[in-house]
Structure 1
Amino acid sequence: MTKLFTPIEFNNVQLKNRIVMSPMCMYSCMERDGSVTPFHETHYISRAVGQAGLIMTEATAVMPEGRISHEDLGIWSDEHTEGLKHLNEQIHRYGAKTGIQLAHAGRKARLNSDIYAPSAIAFNESSATPTAMTLKDIENTIESFKDGARRAKEAGFDIIEIHAAHGYLINQFLSPLTNKRGDVYGGSAENRYRFLSQVIEAVQTVWNGPLFVRISTNEYDTNGSTLEDILYFVRQMKDQGADLIDCSSGGVVPASISPYPGYQLKRCETIKEQEAIATGAVGLITTGLQAEEILQNDRADLVFIGRALLRNPYWPKAAADELGYTVDAPKQYERGWR
């Protein structure tokens, strides 16, 4: 059997293969209430039909002011739970597990309301300047991540991923580029990690399933977090019980990036080797052969597929064909997949 289609287990949750639908914002809550829509059902369920092992929702806001846009999914209210529960039930019918990415956009929120960040620094010239968070704001936000995790459990998610990448709120606390605080949440790497540490602790009071964390492993700025900082953060996450580090990059400050196939893999591989923790590879992984090479060479434990799954909901079938492996078809599609 190819490694791409070998099951893997995280904290008593088994994925049938190593293919993850990467979280990707859809900006489709047209009522602006954060609720699941028919589009979300079609979008996510079709990738489960296509046989991805794990379907991860887009960044799902734990507070209304934590949305990237007014059209984002939300989990800040108990009213969101029923729609997410129904979505999970449908995805599970096709043998896929479900994950939710709990998120807060911080200064990168583009909303018609006040926005918040560790420090009052705008992302760029066209962005609003955020309000620097008070200690009470921080406390309330941590509690909102906890409440989001509780609702995720009630909705039937199998895995929670904390979004600490791409320059959103948690990443803003981690990075010296965006965190200029003079209190216990700013300055040293230890202090900059404190907010994420407390988010993880709060989530774990209501959640005992697999916990993933997405981080930006490279900030593409010499004044940003160093590789040593990143490895320190990963070490702390591992000690706190994180099951996997989802290794993305960028987004903290405007930067010129020239992506190429597997461009984020080097640091993903370094984290896996040096910190002995499972990792997820993401970024221009487009073929079954490429995904198989990553796994066979122990560069990562899961492959997160983004744009390729937008182009083809049945990417796992295409990857299996490429590798000479027969993937199980949904009963309704068997005569077309033979």
Structure 2
Amino acid sequence: MSALFEPLRLRSLTVPNRLWMAPMCQYSAAPEGPTEGTPGDWHFQHLAARAAGGTGLILTEATAVAPEGRITPYDLGLWNDTQTAAFRRITDAIKAQNSVPGIQIAHAGRKASSERTWVDRGRALRPEEPFGWRPVGPSPLPFDDASTTPEELSTARIAELVGQFAETARRALDAGFQVAEIHGAHGYLINQFLSPYSNRRTDAYGGSYENRTRLPLEIVDAVRAVWPEDLPVFFRISATDWLSEDDGDDREGWTADDTVRFARDLAEHGVDLLDTSTGGNAPNARIAVGPGYQVPFAERVKKEAGLAVGAVGLITEARQAEKIVADGQADAVLLGRELLRSPSFAQHAARELGAAVHVPQQYHRAV
């Protein structure tokens, strides 16, 4: 039997296999007007095609809890009824292909108001530019020299943000999603609060580990309060900022030790799986990239914190993914670019590993 194609049960939900689709921004929503932030035909075919290809769980791209929480003006959001209704079409299609629809809910914080990655390399949009706005963050520290200095969030605004995450989770449930993933990685708002590199606050939301994890845990509690007890909540984390003394910055960053400690806290607050990535919070970080380079971080959380984990990062081959799960390094693998290249990667992998996977009846000639 293939470990990669064994079902995984999380609370009452059974995911048919361990090969999942990671969230990947498409920058294809309307930037303004009545369909602002709303998924359209591109998002439908993009997500449904991977479900038809046998992928066990489909996570949407980072979906903002508020307009100013988008990375770019062209990102998805879930703060109104138009968006909720449009997502139902997508979740229905995913479920019809025996896959599980999940949503990643997010706020970009100081990395908001950017161009699409294929336009000027995703440069920051200034507030005075068309579709631009001033971002917010835990502290008035820009991401880099080319970025806008964010507005420091007040405690009242922080409380409002917690409510926005809960409201988006409630809408996601109404839209038919079965997994809610809170985006706490890649230098976006929650990651900014977690890391001392980006959080210089001196109030209850900054300074100590307990204070820097306060907002993330408040968000987890708020989402868990509106999410059904029998359905899972995930949390995506950057397990390290990848900072060292050689990076030319004396600011301390978030570390793998912090991640293991935080994983235990997340489990106590009702998180079921840690989607374990790295980086994105410090522009000058040096990252040693290679096949499966982030898997050890997931493995450490699984072994030391006892929380289920997803592994990511240059996982491109079926036997590579199989070994990660079979060796107990992770409970599932999430593919990104490889699924962009090959929407039916799961079917090809199942064939290579001698496993069974869902194939649409319309494609029976290809089995």
Tell me the residue number matched to 1:317: 347
> In the aligned structure 2, how far is the partner of 1:87 from the partner of 1:227?
36
| 8 Å Cα contact 2:98-2:358 kept in structure 1 | no
> In the aligned structure 1, how far is the partner of 2:353 from the partner of 2:286?
35
1:1-338 alignment runs, 5 A limit: 1-32=1-32, 33-110=36-113, 112-208=132-228, 209-222=231-244, 223-254=252-283, 255-337=285-367
> In the aligned structure 2, how far is the partner of 1:217 from the partner of 1:122?
21
Distance 1:228 1:257, change over 3 A: closer
Q: Secondary structure at the match of 1:75?
A: coil
Mean Cα displacement is larger for which, 76-85 or 60-69?
Answer: 76-85
> In the aligned structure 1, how far is the partner of 2:202 from the partner of 2:30?
40
> In the aligned structure 2, how far is the partner of 1:41 from the partner of 1:31?
18
Unaligned runs of 5+ in 1: none
> In the aligned structure 2, how far is the partner of 1:205 from the partner of 1:326?
37
The code of the aligned residue for 1:128 comes to T
> In the aligned structure 2, how far is the partner of 1:326 from the partner of 1:159?
24
Q: Secondary structure at the match of 1:4?
A: coil
| 8 Å Cα contact 2:5-2:356 kept in structure 1 | no
> In the aligned structure 2, how far is the partner of 1:326 from the partner of 1:21?
18
> In the aligned structure 2, how far is the partner of 1:83 from the partner of 1:286?
31
User: TM-score w.r.t. structure 1 length?
Assistant: 0.98
Shift of 1:31: 4.4
Aligned residues: 337
> In the aligned structure 2, how far is the partner of 1:329 from the partner of 1:202?
37
The code of the aligned residue for 2:315 comes to I
Q: Secondary structure at the match of 2:226?
A: coil
Distance 1:154 1:328, change over 3 A: closer
> In the aligned structure 1, how far is the partner of 2:170 from the partner of 2:342?
33
Post-superposition Cα deviations, 1:137-182, rounded to whole Å, max 9, x if no partner, equal 1011110000000000100100000000000000000000000000
> In the aligned structure 2, how far is the partner of 1:269 from the partner of 1:328?
28
Q: Secondary structure at the match of 1:259?
A: coil
Post-superposition Cα deviations, 1:194-214, rounded to whole Å, max 9, x if no partner, equal 000100111122112200000
User: TM-score w.r.t. structure 2 length?
Assistant: 0.90
RMSD: 1.0
The code of the aligned residue for 2:75 comes to D
Mean Cα displacement is larger for which, 66-75 or 221-230?
Answer: 221-230
Q: Secondary structure at the match of 1:60?
A: strand
Unaligned runs of 5+ in 2: 114-124, 126-131, 245-251
The code of the aligned residue for 2:363 comes to Y
> In the aligned structure 2, how far is the partner of 1:31 from the partner of 1:63?
13
Q: Secondary structure at the match of 1:139?
A: helix
The code of the aligned residue for 1:113 comes to W
Percent identical residues: 45
> In the aligned structure 2, how far is the partner of 1:326 from the partner of 1:140?
46
Post-superposition Cα deviations, 1:254-282, rounded to whole Å, max 9, x if no partner, equal 12323111100111100000001100000
Q: Secondary structure at the match of 2:297?
A: helix
> In the aligned structure 2, how far is the partner of 1:328 from the partner of 1:70?
36
Mean Cα displacement is larger for which, 16-25 or 29-38?
Answer: 29-38
Q: Secondary structure at the match of 2:213?
A: helix
The code of the aligned residue for 1:206 comes to V
> In the aligned structure 2, how far is the partner of 1:235 from the partner of 1:121?
29
> In the aligned structure 2, how far is the partner of 1:12 from the partner of 1:74?
27
